[in-house]
Structure 1
Amino acid sequence: MSPTSPGPSHALAGFAHGLRFDDIPAPVLERARIHILDALGIGLASTTFPFSRATLTAVEALSGGGGARIIGTAQTAAPRDAALANGVLIHGLDYDDTHLQAIVHPTAAVLPAVLAVAEQRGLSGREALAAYCVGMESTVRLGTAIAGGFHHTGFHGTGVFGHFAAALVAGRLMGAAPADHVNALGIAASTASGVQLYLEEGAGTKRLHPGWAASAGITAATLARHGFIGPSRALEGRFGLFETHLHSHAANVDLRALTTGLGSEWMMEQTALKPYPVCHYIHGAADAAGEIFARLDGAAIASVDILLPQETMGTVADPIAQKRAVSNAYEAQFSAPFVIAAMLLNGRFGLQDLSDEALANPRTRALAARCTCVTDPQSRFPAYFSGGVRVTLESGETLSAHVPINNGAGPRRLSLEAARQKFMENAGLAVSPDRAQALAEAVAQIETQPLSTLMELLTAP
C-alpha cells in the first residue's frame, strides 16, 4: 500500500465521523447496553478491593478535582484522570468483557473515555451510546486483524488498541472532522503500549492499561482538535503500529479485517462476558471442572490434568511452579492450577475466592500443587477458549470433561437476564439494592436521557 493511498487509518476515521445512531442495528445497541451494565457493575465492585484505594488516592493527587465523576465514589477529577480511574476500576478485577478472536477487553478502555468526555460536554446518552459502539467495533477489528499477535511480542492488546479506540470516541464526542480523527490516530501511535511484564510476579500494571489508554485517547483527540498534526498512516505505515509492535508477526496482519463490512457488519456483537473473575483463557477448563465437581461426591483427588490451548500456556500455565503457589489475588486470576483446584473443591469461582482467606486455603493450595497443564488436542482457540479437565482419584478412577465453547461466548453468550444478575451481585458489594436497580434501569434507557443522569447514579450516595 503506497503512502498516498487511503488505508485502514482513514477508514476508521471515516467510520468514527460518519456513523449515525440510526445506522446501528437494534441487536447491536442491545448488546452495547448489556456490556455497559456489566462494566459498571464490575467498576462498583472494584471500589471495595484494596487496589482501588491506591488508584483513587493517586488520581486525587494528580488531578486535584474536576468535573468528571468516578464510578462508585464521591470523588471527581479532570476528564483524563477520571477516565484513568474508571478504566482501572472496570478492568481491575479481570471480570470484564473479552472479544475472543481479537483477544482484547474492549469496554474497559472505550467506556471510560465515553463517560468522561460525554459528561464534560453535557451530551446525551444517545450520543454516548453511539460513540461507545464506534469504539467497541474499532477495538475488536484492530485485535482481529492481528490474530492475537501481540501475545507473541509481549504486548497486552487492550493496552495498545485502547489508545486508538479512545481517540476515536473522544474525537467523535468532541465533534472532530475526519482529518482530526486521522491526526488523533497518528498521535495515539506514539503513546500506545502496555507490556505483559505483570505476568512475572502478579503486579497490578495490567489493571492500569485500559485506563491509561482512555486517558491517552482523550489527550490525542484534544491535541488533534486544536491543530496538532499526527502521522496519517498510524496503523499501516512503515513504522506504524503493526510493524513496530509485531515485528516478524506483522506479515500475518489481515488488513481486510479492519475495513470489510465496517459500519454494516458488527463484530462487537460477538464480545463475550465473563462468568468468572479470572483470565478468559481458563474459562473452558473452569466450566469442565464445574461439571466434574458435580460428579465427585467428595472423592479424594490424586492428581489433575488441565487441558488448555497451547497458545495460552505462557499466560496461565507457565512457569508451573509459580502458578501452583500463587502469592496474591492477581497471580491467582492468571493461574490455571489455582482456579481449577478451587472449582473442583467448591464447584464455583467468584470474587469471594480471591480473598486472602481463600488464597491461603490449605486444601486449595495442596490440590493446585497436584495440577499439571497440558495441551488441549480438541481446542477451538481462538474462536473459543476451549478447555478440559482430567481428574485421577485416589481410587484409580478417572473423571474427564471437556468444554469446546466456554460459557459466555458465541452461542453460549450471557443473556440480558444473566448479565443483569451478575450486575446486581457485583454492584451489591458497593451500593444498596435500590441504587443498583436504578442504575440497571438507567442503562436500559441510556439513549433517552442525558448522560449526566447515569453519572449521578454512579456517584456514591
Structure 2
Amino acid sequence: MSEPTLAQQIAAFAEGTSYDDLPADVVESVGMRVLDTLGIAVAAADLDTSRAARSWARDQAGGGPASAVGVDAPLPANLAAFVNGVLAHSLDYDDTHLPSVLHPSATVIPAALAAAQAHGADGRELVRGIAIGLEVCVRLGMAGYDAEKKNSTFFENGQHATSICGAMGGAVAAAVIGGASAASITDTMGVAASMASGIIEANRTGGTVKRIHCGWAAHAAISAASLVEYGITGPPTVLEGRFGFFQSWLHGTYDPAQVSDGLGTTWSVPGIFVKPYPANHFTHAAVDAASALRVAGIAPDDVRRLTLGVPAPNLRTIGEPIDVKRAPETGYMAQFSGPYAVAVGLLGGSGLGAGLEDYTDELAHDPARRAIMAKVDVVADDECTDIFPHQFPAVLTAELEDGRTVVEKVLTTRGGPQRPLSFDEIASKFATNAGRNLDPAAVATLSAVCRDLAAASSMDDLLTPLTLIDPAPSKGLTHA
C-alpha cells in the first residue's frame, strides 16, 4: 500500500478528531477567537468597503440558510462567509500566527459559521471544525516559511498567504462541519486549491482589494465543500504533486514536515497571537514601550529625542521613509507608523492600550502627536532582529531634557503565548468593537455564548443579533 499523501493525512486527522479529542486550551482558544473575530467584523461594518461587500452579496443572493453582519436577510452560505470574511480582515485587527505571519481566523471562522448554519451544526461541531481548520491553515503556512531567510516564501513571491492558506483551512473546516468523510475532505482540499488566491501588490501601491481577500477565501472554502457534496472531486496529491499547491505557489520549496509532524497531537491554535491594538503588528511593541515610559512618569515635554529599535525586516514597513512615517496623512497610514505608535503609547491610548479611536484621520494630524513623531527615529536593532519573526519586539530609547537616558525593552508581543490575553480581556476588546453598533445587552449575550461556545445548540443566538445592526457612516474609522 502506498504512503498516504499529505492531503490524505490531513483528511484522516480531520475525520478522526472528535470534539472530545480537543485539548482544553484549544477549545477555550476557539471561543475567544470567535468572539474576537465577530467583534472586529461588527466594528468594520461602517467601512465603505464593507458596504460594498454587503451590497454585492445582496445582489447575488436568492435566499439561504446563513447570516452576515449587517445583512438583514438570510444569504447562501458562501455569500455570508464572504461578507463576514471581508469585515473580519478589514481593520488590520485580526489575529496573527508567527512566524508564518498568517491571519487564520478571518477566513476559517466566517467559513465555519456559515457551514454550521447551513448544516444545522451545534456548538461542539462548530468548535471542532474551527480548531481543525485553523490547524490546517497554520500548518500549510508554516510549510512555506523559510527559516533561513526568516520570511514567508508566499510573501516573497507576492502572494497573500492568509487568503491562500485560509481557503484551504476554511474548506477543511466547512467539510468537517458538514460531516464529510476523509475521502471527501481530501477532495475538498483538491477543489479548494484551484480557488485559493491573493496577491499583495495593494500593500505597496494602494487599492482596497486586500480587504476582500479573506472574504473571497471563505467564499471559496464553502463553495469547494459544497461542490464536493455535488460530486466534484480533486486530486489526492493536491499539495505535494508535480503541479500541486506547493509547486504552484512556492515553486516546490516547502517543508512537508510542517504539515504532518505532530498532526493531531501538537496544536498550533492556542499559540496564534491575538491583536490587542488595531494596527500593524510590527508596531505593537512600540506602543507598549512608550506606554511604559508614560507609566514611569515621563511626559512628552520631558523628551528631547526618541529612538525606536525594531527588527531589520520591519524597518521598511513602519520606519521608512521616515518623513512619511513621522507625518501620516490618514489613520490607515498611522497604523503602519512606528513614530505614531510611540505617540499613542506616550499619550495613553484607549481600549487595551490602543483602540480604533486612536487611529483616525484627524488624530494623524493632531499637533501633539506630530510633535512627538518628529522626535522619533526608527532604526534596526540587532537584539530585535535576532528574535524576529517569532516575536515582533522593540527597544525604545528616550533621551530626556534633563540629560538622562531611559531604555524600555519589549521583547515579547502582547497577545501571544508569552503574554496572552485572558477571555475577559478579549471580551473587553469585543465590547469596545461591537459596542459601536450593538447595544450593551447584545454585547453581553454574545460574550456569554462564546465563553462556552460548545454548549450552543445552534448558531442563531450568536449570529442573528449581528444581522440587525444598521451601520452608521464612518464613526471615525478610516476608509483608506
| TM-score between the two structures when normalised by the length of structure 1 | 0.92
- The match for 1:21 among 4, 19, 22 is 19
User: 1:213 aligned to 201, 217, 239, which one?
Assistant: 217
Q: Distance in 2 between matches of 1:196 and 1:314?
A: 16
Q: Residue in 2 aligned with 1:377?
A: 382
Counterpart in the other structure of 1:359: 364
Residue 456 (structure 1) shift: 2.3
Q: Please state how far the C-alpha of 1:56 moved relative to its aligned partner.
A: 1.8
Q: Comparing 375-384 with 62-71, which one deviates more in the overlay?
A: 62-71
Matches within 5 A, 1:149-164: 149-164=153-168
Deviation at 1:9, TM superposition (A): 1.7
Partner of 1:457: 465
- Deviation of 1:421 after TM superposition, in Å, equals 1.6
The code of the aligned residue for 1:430 comes to N
8 Å CA contact retained: 2:327, 2:365:
no
Q: Unmatched 5+ residue regions in structure 2?
A: 146-151, 470-480
Q: CA separation of 1:222/1:337 partners in 2, compared to 1, >3 Å: closer, same or farther? A: same
Q: Please give the per-residue CA displacement for 1:3-53, whole angstroms capped at 9, x wherever unaligned.
A: x64232221122222211111112210111111111111112222344422
**Secondary structure of 2:409 counterpart:** strand
CA distance in 2, matches of 1:226, 1:315: 45
Q: Distance in 1 between matches of 2:250 and 2:76?
A: 34
Kindly, what percent of the aligned residue pairs are identical? 37
CA distance in 2 between counterparts of 1:388 and 1:73 reads: 44
Q: Quick one: distance in 2 between partners of 1:314 and 1:15? A: 40
What aligned pairs does 1:25-424 form with structure 2 within 5 A after superposition?
25-63=23-61, 65-147=63-145, 148-247=152-251, 250-251=252-253, 253-294=254-295, 295-347=297-349, 348-379=353-384, 380-393=387-400, 397-424=404-431
Partner of 2:465: helix, strand, or coil? helix
Q: Which stretch of structure 1 is more off in the superposition, 262-271 or 347-356?
A: 347-356
What is the identity, as a one-letter code, of the residue corresponding to 2:460?
A: S
CA distance in 1: counterparts of 2:217 and 2:259, whole angstroms: 20
Deviation at 1:381, TM superposition (A): 1.6
Contact 2:396–2:409 under 8 Å retained in 1: yes
Distance change (3 Å), C-alpha of 1:338 and 1:416? same
> Equivalents in 2 of 1:363, 1:54: separation in Å?
35
Q: Are the equivalent residues in 2 in contact too, given 1:45–1:430 (CA < 8 A)?
A: yes
Distance 2:330 2:237 in 1: 42
Is the deviation greater in 112-121 or in 166-175? 166-175
Higher share of residues assigned helix? 1
- Report the 3-state secondary structure (helix = DSSP H, G, I; strand = E; otherwise coil) of the residue aligned with 1:390: strand
Q: Is the CA contact 1:274–1:280 (under 8 Å) kept in the aligned structure 2?
A: yes
Is 1:434–2:418 an aligned residue pair? Answer: no
Structure 2 letter corresponding to 1:165: G
How has the CA–CA distance of structure 1 residues 349 and 333 changed in structure 2, closer, same or farther, with 3 Å as cutoff?
same
Check whether the contact 1:72–1:430 (CA below 8 A) recurs between aligned residues.
no
Distance 1:106 1:242 in 2: 18
**Within 1, Cα distance between the matches of 2:84 and 2:454?**
21
Displacement of 1:167 in angstroms is 1.2
Q: Distance in 1 between matches of 2:314 and 2:90?
A: 20
Q: Which amino acid aligns with 1:279?
A: N
The answer to whether the 8 A contact 1:46-1:92 is kept is yes
CA distance 1:308–1:246, change in 2 (3 Å): farther
Q: Which amino acid aligns with 1:275?
A: P
Instruction: Determine if contact 1:339/1:349 at 8 Å carries over to the other structure.
Output: no
Q: Residues 230 and 191 from structure 1, CA distance in 2 versus in 1: closer, same or farther, beyond 3 angstroms?
A: same
Distance 1:40 1:422, change over 3 A: same
Q: Name the count of aligned residue pairs.
A: 455
Amino acid at match of 2:356: L
| Amino acid of the structure 1 residue aligned with 2:228 | A
Shift of 1:138: 0.9
Q: How far, CA to CA, are the matches of 2:223 and 2:401 in structure 1?
A: 59
> What RMSD, in angstroms, separates the aligned Cα atoms of the two structures?
2.2
Q: Which moved more, 1:343-352 or 1:434-443?
A: 343-352
Aligned equivalents of 2:92, 2:355: Cα separation in 1: 11
Change (3 A) 1:54 1:303: farther
Q: How far apart in 2 are the matches of 1:370 and 1:150?
A: 36
Alpha-carbon distance, 1:281 to partner: 1.9
Secondary structure in 2 aligned to 1:181? Answer: helix
1:145–1:368 Cα change, 3 Å: same
What TM-score results when the alignment is normalised by the length of structure 2? 0.88
Query: 2:270·2:417 contact (CA, 8 Å) conserved in 1?
Result: no
Q: Distance in 1 between matches of 2:358 and 2:239?
A: 41
Return the alpha-carbon distance in structure 2 between the equivalents of residues 64 and 398 of structure 1.
64
Match for 1:414: what amino acid?
L
Q: Would you say the 8 A contact 1:289–1:388 is kept in 2?
A: no
Is the contact made by 2:332 and 2:360 (CA closer than 8 Å) also made in structure 1? Answer: no
Change (3 A) 1:318 1:80: farther
> Are the equivalent residues in 2 in contact too, given 1:100–1:383 (CA < 8 A)?
yes
Counterpart-to-counterpart distance in 2, 1:393 and 1:205: 43
Aligned amino acid, residue 442 of structure 1: V
Distance 2:403 2:228 in 1: 66
TM-aligned CA distance change 1:11 to 1:324, over 3 Å:
farther
Q: Which residue does the alignment assign to 1:447?
A: 454
**Worse-superposed segment, 5-14 or 102-111:** 5-14
Tell me the secondary structure at the aligned position of residue 74 of structure 1: strand
